[in-house]
Amino acid sequence: MISLPKIKDILGNNDPKQLELLALESASLTRQYFGRTISLFAPLYLSNYCSSHCTYCGFNSHNRIERIKLKPEQMHAEMKHVADTGIENILLLTGESYKATPVPYLLEATNIAKQYFTGISLEVHPMEAAEYAELFQNGVDGITVYQETYDRERYKEVHISGKKSDYDFRYATPERAAQGGIRHLLMGILLGLSDVAEDLTKLYEHLRYMEKNYPGVEYSVSFPRLRTIKGRDFALCNVDDKMFIKIVCLTRILFPRVGITLSTRETAELRNNALELGFTRMSAGSNTSVGGYTIKEEAEQDPQFDIEDTRSVSEIVQLLKNKNFDPVFTDWRPIGNQT
């Protein structure tokens, strides 16, 4: 495994020649293992109820926003809207409230989502292996769970209360999801919370542990950078574009087969220019508010964070085609895990 000093060395090196070599190797490995394909997905927020207090998030339990969760007919409206754009992979998100969005609620949402999408992932409160197994049996094939930071002290400072403040329970979440049969796991860190090189080293260790012990799972990573919420800074992100690209390229070189997601948190300019370097998945046409696609006017929305790239799915498809990429809508069609 690569050492912390070596990672610090690579991330701290701004010699243009070295950066070019890093980018070329990353781009070449990406083409070798993924060709010129980019999978597209969209997020859909089901609920913003949350019983945790994370200092950087607009849904935190201390933030005075209107709390809503979608009813079945509203789920249909939101999902139909997203499906009509051509998206077939959906990421369903909630705040972390075991009470407001228990497993039966997630199962109901999954059953509705199956009518519109071929791939269904969840980014919700961490659960037990048996609960993941039940969700898998009912059509959930992916789980997204960010450790946010692997620095225990910093973790405690920014996760003030609620279940999310339990570092160890969160750390073991990918393992419980894998034990429950989940096919695809997305892991990651929130860039800007703590020392990047240290967080990256720990993420790589976590990922290697998962790959070694659960080799049947498909893994992806993502590196969201802290964003404003309704224009307000909740924390400063000290990761500039050059550092962000170095992180992506280094990850690709160390994990040639792992998917790397590029989200709409990043600007259109960065998304246009970074496509070649190591990414394999992109979100498109995203909205980060509950009911943000069809139910709530923009002025009434309370986003989890602000989006930078607001282009539609068709604009992203056009971009990919112009750059000679194949946009992929369906990369998974379940045949055995649905009841």
Which of 69, 81, 164, 170 is in the footprint of ligand SF4 by CB under 6 A? Answer: 164
- By CB under 6 A, the residues from 175 to 204 that bind ligand SF4 are none
In the complex, what is the shortest distance from the CB of residue 145 to ligand SF4, in angstroms, rounded to a whole number?
A: 10
Residue among 40, 41, 18, 37 at smallest CA distance from 253: 18
Q: Kindly state the DSSP code that residue 334 receives in the 8-state scheme.
A: -
**Phi first, then psi: what are they for 294, rounded to 5°?**
-135, -15
Binds ligand SF4 (CB under 6 A): choice among 34, 41, 59, 150:
59
Stretch that binds ligand SF4, among 55-63, 98-106, 107-115, 307-315 (CB under 6 A): 55-63
Which residues 209-248 are close enough to bind ligand SF4 by CB under 6 A? none
The one segment of 4-12, 52-60, 203-211, 267-275 that binds ligand SF4 by CB under 6 A: 52-60
CB of 55 to ligand SF4, least distance (A): 9
Least Å distance between CB 93 and ligand SF4?
8
In whole angstroms, how close is the CB of 187 to ligand SF4 at the nearest point?
15
Helices (H), the chain: 4-12, 16-34, 72-84, 103-113, 129-137, 152-158, 167-171, 173-179, 196-213, 241-254, 268-274, 313-322
| Segment interacting with ligand SF4 (CB under 6 A) among 54-62, 222-230, 233-241, 260-268 | 54-62
DSSP of 100-167:
TS-HHHHHHHHHHHTTT-SEEEEE-S---HHHHHHHHHBT--EEEEEEE---HHHHHHHEEESGGG-H
Query: Burial code of 278-291, b = ≥16 C-beta within 10 A, e = fewer?
Result: bbbbbbbbbbbbbb
Kindly tell me which residue out of 26, 60, 138, 201 binds ligand SF4, with binding defined by CB under 6 A: 60
Does 173 bind ligand SF4 (CB under 6 A)? Our answer is no
* CA atoms of 114 and 11, how far apart (whole Å): 42
Among positions 50, 70, 207, 307, the unique one binding ligand SF4 when judged by CB under 6 A: 50
Question: What minimum distance in Å lies between the beta carbon of 310 and ligand SF4?
Answer: 22
DSSP state of 264: T
- Chain positions contacting ligand SF4, by CB under 6 A: 50, 52, 54, 57, 59-60, 95-96, 164
